[in-house]
Every structure is written in C-alpha cells, then in structure tokens.
C-alpha cells in the first residue's frame, strides 16, 4: 500500500510515465562515512569507512529500477575507548537494490530513494579471520544528467546502512556517495 502511494506521489501514471527511461546503466560509485559499533562487552565507538563499487542497473518501469553492485570496502579501526578498540576490517560486498525515482525525463535532475541489501565477506585487518554478515541500506539520492552522446549522469546520495553482525549488538553507518552512470542504449526523447 505504501509503495503504491509513493509511486502515485512521484508522478502521474500514463503509458509514457511507465515506459523505461534511459535503458540499462553501467557505472561506478564511491562512498565514505562513519559507522557506530557497539558490543555487549564494550562501549560504543566510531569507525570511518570507504567503499568502491561497480554498478549494473536496469529500468523496470520509468520510476522503478533494479540494480546490482560488486564492491570493495574497508573500515578503519576505532580509537581506543576505555582501553578497547574495534578492529578494522575489509572485504567484498555483493548487493542488490531498488531505485525509486521521480518520473521526470532522464535529461533533467531526478531525485530518488535507493534501498536494498548486501552480502559482505570480510577479513579483520592483520589477521586471517574471515567473517560474513548481511546488510540493509537505504537513502535518498539526486541524479544529475551530463549532456551529449554518450549519455552519462552523476548522482549524489546519503546512504544509511545497518549491518547484522554476530559479534556486535550495533553496527550502523551513514555516509556520502557519488556515482557515475553510463546509459549505452539511451535515445533522444526518452
């Protein structure tokens, strides 16, 4: 129900509004931010993180897209608090997400919301300890088109992430994102 209300609020429904705009996109993204971590035995602390990723996105309808990404991320160790620090870690992430965006033409700035999940395969820094955890991510973004063939766009976002790690009671983060997209099948007037 909430999905239908949001879809209706983003623009009028017509055959043109529901046709895919811009076609599939290939791209790359960079994210950076801060994460809060807390275990049952130690106080909360902050870790900075950085992530790079490759994107593959498909339009489902004009206002909804489906994306996949493969990325590498790293989190620095925290500063010591009460003699305890949270170890840094790095690894690969495989993500899938939905893009809900305004029904404006692809040659105009478009706002949207991205939400999805990822599977993360990490290793703690200076160890060989491997671990897995799933994550949920959501956040607003603004996509800005770049003129001329081939068709490109840049987007800026504010991703919020919640990690489900067995070793921590809380692992949540917020960051900034910049992404570049290339639409190889984009045609004038879509």
Percent of the chain with pLDDT over 70: 82
CATH class of 25-183: mainly beta
- Note the pLDDT tens digit of each residue in 114-138: 999 999 999 999 999 999 999 999 9
3-state secondary structure of 173: strand
Question: How far is the C-alpha of 74 from the C-alpha of 130, rounded, in Å?
Answer: 14
Predicted TM-score of the model (pTM): 0.81
Minimal CA–CA distance to 135: which of 90, 100, 106, 94? 94
Total length of the chain: 190
Q: Half-sphere exposure (CA, 13 Å, Cβ side) for 110? A: 25
- Note the pLDDT tens digit of each residue in 15-33: 333 344 568 999 999 999 9
3-state secondary structure of 73: strand
């Amino acid at each position: 129900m909430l999905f239908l209300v949001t879809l209706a609020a983003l623009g009028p429904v017509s055959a043109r509004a529901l046709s895919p705009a811009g076609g599939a996109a290939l791209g790359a993204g960079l994210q950076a931010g801060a994460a809060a971590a807390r275990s049952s035995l130690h106080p909360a602390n902050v870790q900075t993180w950085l992530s790079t990723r490759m994107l593959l996105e498909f339009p489902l309808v004009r206002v909804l897209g489906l994306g996949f990404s493969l990325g590498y991320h790293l989190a620095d160790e925290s500063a010591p608090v009460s003699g305890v620090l949270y170890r840094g870690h790095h690894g690969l992430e495989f993500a899938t997400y939905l893009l809900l965006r305004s029904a404006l033409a692809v040659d105009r700035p478009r706002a949207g919301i991205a939400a999805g999940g990822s599977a993360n395969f990490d290793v703690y820094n200076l160890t060989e300890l491997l671990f897995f955890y799933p994550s949920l991510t959501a956040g607003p973004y603004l996509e800005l088109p770049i003129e001329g063939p081939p068709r490109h766009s840049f987007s800026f976002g504010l991703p919020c992430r919640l990690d489900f790690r067995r070793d921590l009671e809380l692992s949540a983060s917020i960051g900034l994102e910049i992404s570049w997209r290339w639409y190889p099948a984009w045609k004038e007037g879509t």
